Structure 1
Amino acid sequence: MPRTTRTQRSTYRLLSALAVLTMTAGAATACGDNDSAPEHAASSSATLSTSPGASQSGVSKLHMVTHDGHRLAFHVTQGNGHTIVLDSGGGEDSSQWKDLVPKLHADTGATVITYDRAGLGKSDVVPGPWKVDSAVSDLKSGLEQLGVTKNVTLVSHSQAGEIASYLAKDNPKMFSGAVLVDANLPPFFTDEEIPRLLAASQPQVDEAKKDPDKPENRQIISTAEGFALAHKAFHEVTWPDAVPATVMVSEKTPLDGSPVDAQRWRDAAASFAQDGPNRTLVTAKGSSHEVPKDRPDLVLKEIEDMAATQH
């Protein structure tokens, strides 16, 4: 299967000015970009090594874990002490972070973990609608199988903000802090906004249904199913006060073509940052929604700052 480049994914994902629906669904193939990452060596053991020399190599190793009948790929650069988990945006696999991982590891000495959500990268495809509770369960189970249950700095881009919100709400003791990178946040998905997103994205959903077996179309269709009900519920989710959070919002937002919706996206980030203690709002100047690509320097700084203050 041919690879889909990051530029192609971003273009497809943002065909519509209001395509948060397809942005959260993603538009990557199940093959992903990880097949081009030779540094990912296979590991037969799920539990992470704690040997003193493990942190010196800086080599990312592939750990395949099994949860709920499917396999998930976790890529681990072993360090000492704390753990930084990077969760990719919709349609992106773990390769979204490939340039940041070695820098984070070198600068912090932390164990750095990326992973491929079901249907992306090296992880198995799971048929049916995309369900945030399944994604949450996958990430939690994978981390637990790797022996990671506390002292985690969670970094979440775009759709991963939904996973982060539910995971942190139910497991606050697992996390020492979070960096939410232009992430989906509960305040944005109001009863007024959800129908706008659905209406704007419907032509893309209809087109995708003409070729439902195509991987990127499968991603769009799976997220469209039950979108309204799921995001009404997401709107009510509260972030735990015990988990500090840096809220990064892009200057252009994923809704740059619609000033009204773009402002609502910014307002939601500001509201989220103001609604609890230990939350900081940071604007990624000059950045599109693809903040990790456009402003890797800023993302790196905010992750390192969060990790340093919590450990």
Structure 2
Amino acid sequence: MKNSPRRRRARLALPATLLLAVTAGTLTACGGAASAPARSASAASAASVASASSPAAPPPPASHRPAGSTLHMIDNGGHRLAFHVTPGRLPAIVLDAGGGLDSSYWKDLVPKLAAATGSEIITYDRAGLGDSDAVPGPWNVQSAVGDLRTGLRELGVTHDVILVAHSQAGEIATYFTRADPRLVSGAVLVDASLPELYTDEEIARLVAASEPQVEAAKKNPSTKKNRQLIATAESFVPLHRAYHRASWPDGVPATVIVSEKTPFEGSPKDARRWREAAAAFVKAGPERTLVTADGSSHDIPVDRPGLVLGEIEKMAAARG
């Protein structure tokens, strides 16, 4: 049977967004009870100073913030970052959304996670997203790692962290954990971008497929979405060649949740490679678990929130 015109158009449009699928989230629907333990006086002071380190900015609308959270605007090298903290005990659970997405992605999950675990829950906006300041130039994963490290330090979170990373945030989680594995108790990697995917062949496929959309974005760089795409594309090749050589520390447990449909639902070859990368990551070290989100798109936290919540709960219970 012949494909309908609508289906043919979908197949033709898909390749232009492959790079974004793993780094900027545009293939997804997002494009589409104990009290907290007392921290040291210096840590509490640092958190207070951090939240007042920049001129007061209008708070984000209530619909953007997780219920029961407090906004902290933290300065790192001259740009401000928005962190939202829901109080609780350790281990602290840090939720990091995929490329092009801000902390509001998690707002419905945060209250459920706080109630289920009693943990402190932290979400934040990476530079250029949500209420955080933009940083000019190509996207730099090490800068993103530095922003997260500074934010947690200023909030007094210096140990016993569980990272929950979706899509592009898997790259930040990998480098963050490699830099200080003693800080991270465990991780839940939700359809995350993993080093095993980025062979030279796959990098070339993603870049070539996305070139038309990148060129179109350059003609109108005034929108936040286009600026994110341009910044990602400018650094994509060298960053991902280096990322392919990165490895996850053996001493840090990780649960990998891979979607059934992957970011490449219309490209079977790339979808297979995405799933194979997840399986290879899990086999490469101890204390790693692979979970498949049956029926889910790349947007697992929206399609299967109960599954994500359950896996985070398991990790928190095991590491708490």
Q: Same fold (TM over 0.5)?
A: yes
Distance (Å, rounded) in 1 between the aligned partners of 2:183 and 2:72: 20
Q: Which amino acid aligns with 2:71?
A: L
Q: Does 1:91 align with 2:91?
A: no
Per the TM alignment, residue 213 of structure 1 is displaced from its structure 2 partner at its CA by 1.5
Match of 1:274 among 270, 283, 294: 283
Match of 2:271 among 253, 262, 273: 262
Q: Which amino acid aligns with 1:264?
A: R
Per the TM alignment, residue 17 of structure 1 is displaced from its structure 2 partner at its CA by 4.2
Distance (Å, rounded) in 1 between the aligned partners of 2:18 and 2:158: 32
Identity, % of aligned pairs? 62
Residue 25 of structure 1 corresponds to which residue in structure 2?
Answer: 24
1:149-177: CA deviation from partner (whole Å, max 9, x where unpaired): 11111000000000000000111001110
> RMSD in angstroms over aligned alpha carbons?
1.8
Per the TM alignment, residue 81 of structure 1 is displaced from its structure 2 partner at its CA by 2.6
Residue 82 of structure 1 corresponds to which residue in structure 2?
Answer: 91
Q: Does 1:37 align with 2:66?
A: no
Q: Does 1:294 align with 2:303?
A: yes
Residue 318 of structure 2 corresponds to which residue in structure 1?
Answer: 309
- For the Cα contact (< 8 Å) 1:180–1:247, is it kept in 2? yes
Match of 2:256 among 247, 262, 265: 247
Distance (Å, rounded) in 2 between the aligned partners of 1:17 and 1:226: 19
Match of 1:285 among 294, 300, 314: 294
Residue 105 of structure 1 corresponds to which residue in structure 2?
Answer: 114
1:17-52: CA deviation from partner (whole Å, max 9, x where unpaired): 4734223135689xxxx94425849xxxxxxxxxxx
- For the Cα contact (< 8 Å) 1:26–1:220, is it kept in 2? no
1:166-212: CA deviation from partner (whole Å, max 9, x where unpaired): 00011100111000000000000001100000011001101101101
Q: Which amino acid aligns with 2:62?
A: A
Give secondary structure in 2 for the equivalent of 1:81.
strand
- For the Cα contact (< 8 Å) 2:96–2:123, is it kept in 1? yes
Distance (Å, rounded) in 1 between the aligned partners of 2:282 and 2:89: 30
Change (3 A) 1:131 1:39: closer
Change (3 A) 1:40 1:262: closer
Residue 14 of structure 2 corresponds to which residue in structure 1?
Answer: 16
Change (3 A) 1:40 1:100: closer
- For the Cα contact (< 8 Å) 1:82–1:110, is it kept in 2? yes
Give secondary structure in 2 for the equivalent of 1:199.
helix
Residue 227 of structure 1 corresponds to which residue in structure 2?
Answer: 236
TM-score (norm 2): 0.84
Q: Does 1:200 align with 2:209?
A: yes
Q: Does 1:136 align with 2:161?
A: no
Distance (Å, rounded) in 2 between the aligned partners of 1:19 and 1:301: 31
Q: Does 1:166 align with 2:164?
A: no
Residue 40 of structure 2 corresponds to which residue in structure 1?
Answer: none
Give secondary structure in 2 for the equivalent of 1:82.
strand
Distance (Å, rounded) in 2 between the aligned partners of 1:301 and 1:113: 18
Change (3 A) 1:129 1:79: same
- For the Cα contact (< 8 Å) 1:39–1:60, is it kept in 2? no
Q: Which amino acid aligns with 1:132?
A: V
- Which consecutive unaligned segments of at least 5 residues does structure 2 have? 1-11, 32-58
Structure with higher Rg: it is 2
Q: Which amino acid aligns with 2:24?
A: A
Q: Which amino acid aligns with 1:69?
A: G
- For the Cα contact (< 8 Å) 1:187–1:271, is it kept in 2? yes
Q: Does 1:145 align with 2:154?
A: yes
